[in-house]
Amino acid sequence: MNPDLNKLQPYPFEKLKTLLGQVTPPENIAHIALSIGEPKHASPKVVVDTLNSNLDKLSNYPSTIGLPELREAIANWATKRFDLDTNNSPPKKNGLCADSQVLPVNGTREALFSFTQAIIDRTNSALVISPNPFYQIYEGAAYLAGAELLLLPCLEENNFIPDYENISEATWQACQLLFICSPSNPTGSVTSLTNLKTLIALSDKYNFVIASDECYSEIYCDEAQAPVGLLQACAKLGRDDYKNCVVFHSLSKRSNLPGLRSGFVAGDAEILAKYLKYRTYHGCAMPVQHQIASIAAWNDETHVIENRKIYQQKFEKVLEILAPVLDIKQTEASFYLWPKTPICDELFAQKLFEQQHVTVLPGSYLSRAVNGENPGKNRVRMALVAPEADCIEAAKRIRTFVEDL
């Protein structure tokens, strides 16, 4: 067996299952889960109808590169959303070349993992840099690619963004891949345009790849301030080759389609050409009917706007209930809250489940201790994915629990 498998820790939800298995919740009140970031809003009718009307495509093998129409729909969406139309000269029809700068993938989780395997040069000492706390795939992908992992703490005093300025030149020289997550899971913080431009300059200097996980980019609180993206920062710098820059997007959160397993990667054409070669052997082509349904999703923005409104309403009502008893703030984007806990985060999650039948995820499960400090300690992640009435009920129970501590 691959010895690097021994470096992998139990997934956060395995840890949570073990933690909660030690207690018994009350049977007289229904369970409400705020622990898993699985969207529960209705899937768009236009996508469901399109999928149903194309089930005959089950008899077709899909191509790894995807349908031209899907890549064009993605390129058009990303160009409009991130203002990428800076160069209309041939062969580009817009700010992204659908033929060379876009690849459909089966959701960002699959893509982030496989991309890391394709990027890492095992013949040299490889370093991957990641935020901490982080989406656990970054860690697993790095270790199973044979790389070392450097975790950068995301602390409140820095708006939960890593302090890139204090990284040594030797560290940047060793870096092959930098993960950024914006909007962040779990903190909801957005990496600024200034920070993105700084990272691009560092990538130019030290020749590492930036992998920007942007799967929460379409869930934000202020309609006038959509989160900026990595390719957008490239465009602001007048660059349409997106050198060493790759972004990851998904329909799971944007369109409430986690079961469709549909997303895309976009950016540096030279990198994506090699990644496509990897994917051809990896055997991960998206089913044709899913590709056609994805076209309908990327072409429709109405359901996305309505989706944001639902989240905005839930944030407002839940924060009104919890703010008097918890150190809790509105996040910039995503559907998460990242409050401080008055007791140890593990104990908070366990006792909350035992007394109020509500599950939240301990922040320390999403982080690793570095130099004795775990940046997720004494915080929990709350995912406001349940129906509004359930989120309000959960907030009331959490308030009661905190007041009884």
Q: How far apart are the first and last CA of the chain?
A: 47
Final residue in a domain of this structure, among 300, 320, 345: 300
CATH of the domain at 27: 3.90.1150.10
Contacts 24+ apart (CB under 8 A), 58-61: 58/287, 58/289, 60/288, 61/285
Confidence bin at 87 (pLDDT 50/70/90):
low
At 169 the pLDDT is 96
pLDDT tens, residue by residue, 273-324: 999 999 999 989 999 999 999 999 999 999 999 999 999 999 999 999 999 9
Same domain, 154 and 284: yes
pLDDT, residue 194, reads: 97
Mean pLDDT score across all residues of the chain: 95
Whether residues 9 and 109 share a domain: the answer is no
Q: How remote is the C-alpha of 331 from its chain's centroid?
A: 15
pLDDT at position 211 is 98
What pLDDT score was predicted for residue 95? 85
Whether residue 346 sits in one domain with residue 208: no
In this prediction, residues 105-126 reach a mean pLDDT of: 95
Inter-CA distances, 40 with 150, 289, 385, Å: 34, 22, 6
Could you tell me if 317 and 382 lie in one domain?
A: yes
Q: Indicate whether 51 belongs to any domain.
A: no
Residue that has been written with the tokens 């021994």 in this structure: 6
Say yes or no: 266 and 331 in one domain.
no
Which of 300, 323, 339 terminates a domain? The answer is: 300
Same domain for 123 and 91: yes
Same domain, 281 and 296: yes
Query: 116 and 19: one domain?
Result: no
Supply the CATH number for residue 229's domain: 3.40.640.10
Q: Over pLDDT 70: what percentage of the chain?
A: 98
Q: What is the pLDDT of residues 190-220, one digit of tens each?
A: 999 999 999 999 999 999 999 999 999 999 9
Same structural domain, 253 and 345: no
Please tell me whether residues 277 and 340 are part of one structural domain. Answer: no
Q: Which domain holds residue 146?
A: 60-300
pLDDT value of residue 94:
59
Q: Is the pLDDT of residue 92 over 60?
A: no
Q: What pLDDT, on the 0 to 100 scale, is given for residue 85?
A: 82
Give the residue from 300, 335, 353 where a domain finishes: 300
Asked if residues 146 and 124 have their Cβ atoms less than 8 Å apart, the reply is: no
**Which residues, including other chains, have CB under 8 Å from residue 96's CB and lie 6 or more apart?**
74, 75, 78, 79, 84, 102, 231, 266
Residues 290 and 315 in one domain: no
Distance, CA of 158 to CA of 155 (rounded, Å): 6
pLDDT tens digit sequence for 175-196: 999 999 999 999 999 999 999 9
Domain count, the chain: 2
| Range 36-57 average pLDDT | 96
- Do residue 260 and residue 310 come from a single domain? no
* Residue 335 is assigned to a structural domain of this protein: yes
For residue 47, tell me if it sits in a domain.
Answer: no
pLDDT of residue 145: 97
Tell whether 54 is covered by a domain: no
Tell whether the model's pLDDT for residue 351 goes beyond 70.
yes
User: What's the pLDDT score for residue 86?
Assistant: 57
CB-based burial of residue 87 (10 Å sphere; 0-12 exposed, 13-18 middle, 19+ buried)? middle
Helical (H) or strand (E) element with 113: helix 107-119
Hey, what are 91's tokens? 């062969």
